[in-house]
Amino acid sequence: MRRDIFQAIADPTRRAILSLLVLGAMTPNALAEHFDSTRQAVSKHLKILTECEVVTQKQTGREIHYHFNPEKMKEIDIWLERFRKLWEDRFDQLDSLLNDL
């Protein structure tokens, strides 16, 4: 299965998890308290977020904390820049066409 930043933010629960982790690292239990879904469901989302590399795990003693990885979010900016350029190029081509019509 595809694992990238878009996959990471495609699900509303995952977006909510990321919003919480932006504020500070959290354990899976602490995160689960914010959601109606089961601890297992939250774990599954954390697994996907980890595979998408938008969060990282750090072991502290017996506890695992999840950290937000801002570098990965930059990929959205890169994508937006490419998309902006696509439309810009398209419009420039239309300019030349309109000149000839």
Closest to 48 in 3D by CA, of 89, 100, 7: 7
Closer residue to another protein in complex, CB, 36/91: 91
d(CA 49, CA 84): 27
- Residues 6 or more apart in contact with residue 67 via CB below 8 angstroms: 21, 25, 55, 56, 57, 58
Minimum separation from the CB atom of position 18 to another protein (A):
13
What is the binding site for another protein (CB under 8 A)?
2, 4, 6-7, 9-11, 78-91, 93-99, 101
Which secondary structure element, helix H or strand E, spans residue 56, and what is its range? strand 55-60
Closer residue to another protein in complex, CB, 63/88: 88
Minimum separation from the CB atom of position 83 to another protein (A):
6
Closer residue to another protein in complex, CB, 22/94: 94
